[in-house]
Amino acid sequence: MSLRAIDSAPNGTPAPAPERNPGFDLDLGWLRAIRMNRSALERRGATIGKRRTVKKQWQAAWLLKAITLIDLTALNGDDTKGRIERLCAKARHPVRDDILAKLGAQNLPIRPGAVCVYHGFVPVAVAALKGSGIPVAAVSTGFPAGLSPLKTKIAEIEASVKAGAQEIDVVIERHFVLNGDWRGLYRQMKAFRAACGPAHLKTILAVGELATLNNVARASLVCMLAGADFIKTSTGKEKTNATLPVSLAMIRMIRWFEDETGVKIGYKPAGGISSAKTALEYMALVKEELGTEWLNPHLFRFGASSLLTDIERQLEHNAFGRYAADYRQPLV
């Protein structure tokens, strides 16, 4: 049984990384033209889980692919060096060997897209992942509130990059959006982009605190114009995090942005995505709205911690016909 994971390249080789977003001038006319129809987006989102599904070996292939799209995350107040090291060990070996062998997937390069940690644990994660090819992502800029002084935020980004982080997840100041201060948001994102240097910039919008889908869409555009390589829904700390309607608003701005500039921007839903079923819904949404090309870690990630556990349980069921207890696939 062939379970070659879905790949963007037609010959099955890993998809190449897209060109970095060079950034563009702020276009307030473009912002004013944005209109998001909430009811239409909610209706569209409601169809995904009902009409789009995969079963049996095809589901296993999609779930193996989903693992490669996860930013395996530890962003808790009680994180320790030992916990981060265990998380990185899981990243190196995300699925048990007997499961992969039963699925015929033992030779596939199954590993998460990145390991995401607080700035203070970047050196620990970099050391634990040395030689694996798995990048370290650091949350910066006063995560999760984003209200630290600008100089402090920039210094934190620069320190994370110096410590070995290859991706930086920054969080916007929500008041820029709520007050319609698009120039302020743009200037700050430009400063963050410059501080990142070679590291990829992933911008967290904290969508649950932006009030309207029009605000979500406009904030998405401003961050992309400022040079963001990814736009991300949430910190995972808000009351409302990733949802399918919000994802549609952001994804359609990504599509529009590519149509206008030729630049591909990545998308990262985060917060509350803990089941394999939900992950498949988001993958189906991205495939339908942006195309199969986006189903690779250069352009799509899940911000998640417990998601991997449920995916491994589903894979074990597919392989052996039984569900295992969570402790058989410990994360940390």
From the candidates 65, 153, 202, 268, give the one annotated as an active-site residue: 268
CA distance 164 to 174: 28
Q: Are 319 and 32 in contact (CB under 8 A)?
A: no
Residue 106: what residue type? Q
Read off φ and ψ for residue 36, nearest 5 degrees. Answer: -110, 125
What are 178's two structure tokens?
């709520």
CA distance 278 to 49: 8
Report the Cα–Cα distance between both ends of the chain, in Å, rounded. 31
Phi-psi region of 224 (alpha: psi -120 to 50; beta: other; left: phi over 0): alpha
From the candidates 71, 169, 229, 310, give the one annotated as an active-site residue: 169
From the candidates 71, 232, 264, 310, give the one annotated as an active-site residue: 232
- State how beta strands 136-140 and 70-74 pair: unpaired
Prior bond to 144 cis, omega within 30? yes
Phi-psi region of 212 (alpha: psi -120 to 50; beta: other; left: phi over 0): beta
CA 329 to chain centre: 22
For residue 169, indicate whether it is catalytic: yes
For residue 237, indicate whether it is catalytic: no
For residue 268, indicate whether it is catalytic: yes
The residues annotated with a catalytic role in the active site are 169, 232, 268
